Chains A and B, each alone.
Chain A
Amino acid sequence: MIENTKCECGHNNPIGTVLCEHCGRPLDETTNSNDKLDKEMRYEGKARRSLTYQKSIIDQVWNFFSSVKIAIILIIITFIMSAIGTIFPQEQFIPSSSPDTYYEETYGTLGKWFHQLGLSTMYSSWWFATLLSMIGISLVICSLDRVIPLYRALKNQKVSKSTVFIERQRISVTEEVSQEEASFKMDELANKLSKKRYHVRKEKDALLAEKGRFSRWGPYINHIGLIIFLVGILLRYLPGWNLDDYVWVQEGQTVRVPQTQYYVKNEGSTVEYYKETEKSQKGPIVSKYQTKAVLYKKDSNGKLVPLMNKSILVNDPLDFEGLKLYQSDFRAGDLTGIQFAIIDRKSKKNLGEFSVDLSNITANHIYRAGGLRVKIKDYFPDFAIENNVPVTKSQDPNQPAFLFETIDEGKEKGENSLVISGMDFPNPESNKYNIQLAGFETVNTAGLMVRIEKSLPIYLIGGVVSMLGLVMGFYWQHRRVWVRVQDGKLHIGAHTNKNWFAIRRELSQVGFSRLVKETEEK
């Protein structure tokens, strides 16, 4: 810590100052006088809060987070942990609903550890969120700790700098000049540098040419963008801020969009293939998944009012005031109905047909075919025999079976027959009628992802601000040239925050290649 803050030029500097605010002379005389001032120039040698106050707890917390070293350590921990998290897939990507056993079975002991250490859900873990938040805090404090003194220093720059300051710049040269020569040279330099679009300020025996100062704010603007972005992420913890759900809709069906008051109707889902790939060995390639959807809302009478029509495509979701429905999955040929034909056993004549809507089967419904009436006495969507008893394995119509009662005209009771799809079940020989499968009615089903993400505009603003800062900071640079005439000597020093090659070339282009050469050979 530098104790002596009064500079030789007479200026009183705040404690912690590295380079005199007035003349630029280094205040810490213990540094080797031949060393260049690169490090000190980073923040113009201004006192920073973190280097000035170190007593109270607030100071210590501030100092902790204001350290770029800490920021870098946080960054490194974050990316190493992120990398470790990709060794095995995260839980949301595994094809199993029981991660407890999946990881060990699939990946062995390492997999078990991966799961037990919580690495299989690490990106949503509290400690990962803590890491990101600490980076966020570090972003704010690091930036504040530096940008304020830097802003003050650059705003109040003095034209006339100490010759020590000029000589210790990375590019600097000193030469003997006579009085008249000096003022001529100064004018020439001022002229040429302003042609290179430098902003030139002149005093009696000193000159300061500067350009691209705004690029110094680039990193801080980038950090503001990142902070906005992180705020967007934090807002996701608010209830109702985001929604992530899923809904399957069959063609013709209208279902409620989960967790909302909206309803969605599927007016047709289709899949299309590239013609040229239809006969290829690897199988056809899909060219398009499409779902014609209508979004409804119930009015006060409970009636559905259409709000919007949209053909949802992959990459083109339905978007209604921030509620988005994405084409996410497609299932072809869901069974919705079966057609049956009644055949007279003796004459083999088709007596008539009827169709059963699988979503609407009741015991009392009477199907009519020709002059016959048919009742469904029992229905097994997913037929199986267990312990000699017919059962259904699930409610999905994977293998539908029906127990029909076929009733002749004018009669009360009829004959029973069991019909199992995909099976030729031997009904009693005494039966007059044979019921056969005559056709299936199938529909396609769309899997729609339901999303609300209110942070999107915040992310976008954060991204735009961040990019603005990056472009400012990386594609421009802050260049300065100081000239000072003192005791028959002309001192020139130049500094840039990056791209030294370019500023050297620029100095040689304004006619001072000799000066630049000398510097390079040193």
Chain B
Amino acid sequence: MTAIMNNLLYGTFIIYLLAAIAFVVVATDVKKRSKIWGNIAITLSIAGVVIHIAFMISRIVIGGHFPTSNMFEFIAFLCFALVLAFIVIFAIYRTYVLGAFVMPFAVVLLAYAAVFPRDVQPLIPALQSHWLYIHVTTAALGQGAFAVSFVAGLIYLIYKVGNGEKSSHGKYLETTLVIIVMMLGFSIASLFFQAIGYKASFTHEIDGNQVVEEYQLPPIVAPHESKAVTVESFLGFKDPLLEVPAWMKGENAASKFNSVIWGIVVGLVLYAIYLLIVRKNLYQLLYPLVKKLDPELLDEISYRGVAIGYPLFTLGALIFAMIWANEAWGRPWGWDPKETWAFITWMFYSAYLHLRLSRGWVGMKSSWLAVGGFVIIMLNLIVINLVISGLHSYA
């Protein structure tokens, strides 16, 4: 059964990858064969979603609970939500170019998920509730729609900056794109070291308890005041260069921070290689894919993503969250860091909506806000679990 589950996961990954390639072909195709490729691309996306569902079902069969209980499961579900939201929005607008950006992003997201421990773990008592999947899935579906909004916003920015209308935004746009490359870099580095079976571990003290922290990547930074237990050398490097500050004491915080540094380094190296070969900005490379699009339509898609996501996010990340928190922790709201950041996300998108609907912020401003909103979501996903040990640090 575990073998089936793993194969379904690889299958999902490969089909998303193929769909991504097909969409890129549609977007770049100069001849008029794009209709066939378009059909192939969207069929592959739907097939990917179906296999993804099969993967989740197999995981339910093995673990006996819905797979949204740790980082791997959650990010994989977020990837699912992203593709699902894309298919819904594609059904409305039929823009293939959107797929040429969403599907590669989904691939990066799934690769990123695979970095985290993938074994099925039994549920601790705090998670034993139907709200586990009701709350988490609804919130993630909302975030998936926000992610589509983010991608559409990004395409809008590439369009406007690429055609020279708003070239002053170029460096910010490039920075945003490089951050996505860093996510890719992180996934590549992690999967590489997973493949060669790299391991290191440190022991240190957290709040009076001796804790062993496992590293899957060679340590650039070690936990605060830690002792090395075993550190395999990689290319002759053995000793960590630095220690993390004392306040980083979330679950495996130092190890996760180390991974972030790896992501940044590998991302920058990839970007440098890219610059050496192609010798133009990323947005200039991407501009030809999007130049035939109608910017007004992109702006509307970006807004539509928020319009679809906002009620879902409100329901999942706030209302259902409060109902469950009241059952599990005895209060609907407690300003736990993750709760606070869900609130911040919600307030941010509320500001987005009011700025757009009441102050007429459309186009560039609105697109940047869509990007900013998704950055907040990623911050909540990565940094909050990384730095702070709150009630939500399950993974």
Question: A326-B329, A471-B311, A501-B297 are known contacts; what are 19 more A-B pairs with Cβ within 8 Å?
Answer: A68-B358, A71-B354, A72-B359, A78-B347, A86-B388, A89-B390, A106-B247, A107-B246, A244-B331, A286-B124, A286-B125, A287-B123, A317-B327, A460-B323, A466-B319, A474-B310, A500-B300, A501-B93, A520-B294
Tell me if A498 and B303 are in contact (CB < 8 A). Answer: yes
| Residue B348, interface by CB 8 Å | yes
Instruction: Decide if the interface of chain B is mainly helix, strand, loop or mixed.
Output: helix
Tell me if B311 and A287 are in contact (CB < 8 A). Answer: no
| Residue B165, interface by CB 8 Å | no
| Residue A90, interface by CB 8 Å | yes
Chain B 172-211: CB-based contact to A (< 8 A → 1; otherwise 0): 0000000000000000000000000000000000010000
Tell me if B359 and A68 are in contact (CB < 8 A). Answer: yes
| Residue A467, interface by CB 8 Å | yes
How far does the alpha carbon of A314 sit from the alpha carbon of B296 in the complex, in Å? Answer: 51
Interface residues on B, range: 35 or more
A104-139 at interface with B (beta carbon < 8 Å): 106-107, 111, 123
How far does the alpha carbon of A88 sit from the alpha carbon of B336 in the complex, in Å? Answer: 11
Q: Known contacts A72-B354, A285-B121; is A459 also within 8 Å of B322 by CB? A: yes
Selected from B246, B319, B341, the residue in CB contact (under 8 A) with A463 is: B319
In the complex, the chain B residue whose C-beta lies closest to that of A146 is B358
| A positions within 8 Å CB-CB of B | 38-39, 42, 68-69, 71-72, 75-76, 78-79, 82-83, 85-86, 88-90, 92-93, 95, 106-107, 111, 123, 244, 274, 276-277, 285-289, 313-317, 324, 326-328, 449, 451, 453, 456, 459-460, 463, 466-467, 470-471, 474-475, 498-502, 520
Minimum CB–CB distance from A230 to chain B (whole Å) comes to 13
| Residue B308, interface by CB 8 Å | yes
* A470 surroundings in chain B (CB, below 8 A): 310-311, 314
Instruction: Decide if the interface of chain A is mainly helix, strand, loop or mixed.
Output: helix
Tell me if A274 and B122 are in contact (CB < 8 A). Answer: yes
Minimum CB–CB distance from A209 to chain B (whole Å) comes to 22
How far does the alpha carbon of A274 sit from the alpha carbon of B347 in the complex, in Å? Answer: 40
* B322 surroundings in chain A (CB, below 8 A): 459, 463
* B126 surroundings in chain A (CB, below 8 A): 314-315
Tell me if B125 and A288 are in contact (CB < 8 A). Answer: yes
Selected from B122, B128, B319, the residue in CB contact (under 8 A) with A314 is: B128
Minimum CB–CB distance from A106 to chain B (whole Å) comes to 6
How far does the alpha carbon of A310 sit from the alpha carbon of B53 in the complex, in Å? Answer: 38
Tell me if B122 and A276 are in contact (CB < 8 A). Answer: yes
| Residue B384, interface by CB 8 Å | yes
| Residue B350, interface by CB 8 Å | yes
* A86 surroundings in chain B (CB, below 8 A): 337, 340-341, 384, 388
20 chain-A/chain-B pairs, Cβ below 8 angstroms: A42-B357, A68-B358, A69-B359, A71-B354, A72-B351, A75-B347, A76-B351, A78-B347, A285-B122, A314-B126, A315-B328, A317-B330, A456-B332, A467-B319, A470-B310, A474-B307, A475-B308, A498-B303, A501-B92, A501-B93
Tell me if B340 and A467 are in contact (CB < 8 A). Answer: no
How far does the alpha carbon of A75 sit from the alpha carbon of B345 in the complex, in Å? Answer: 11
In the complex, the chain B residue whose C-beta lies closest to that of A78 is B347
| Residue B264, interface by CB 8 Å | no
Selected from A276, A277, A501, the residue in CB contact (under 8 A) with B300 is: A501
* B359 surroundings in chain A (CB, below 8 A): 68-69, 72
In the complex, the chain B residue whose C-beta lies closest to that of A469 is B311
Minimum CB–CB distance from B215 to chain A (whole Å) comes to 16
Selected from A78, A286, A315, A466, the residue in CB contact (under 8 A) with B314 is: A466
Q: Known contacts A315-B328, A317-B330, A470-B314; is A82 also within 8 Å of B347 by CB? A: yes
How far does the alpha carbon of A82 sit from the alpha carbon of B350 in the complex, in Å? Answer: 15
Minimum CB–CB distance from A467 to chain B (whole Å) comes to 6
* A471 surroundings in chain B (CB, below 8 A): 311
* B354 surroundings in chain A (CB, below 8 A): 68, 71-72, 75
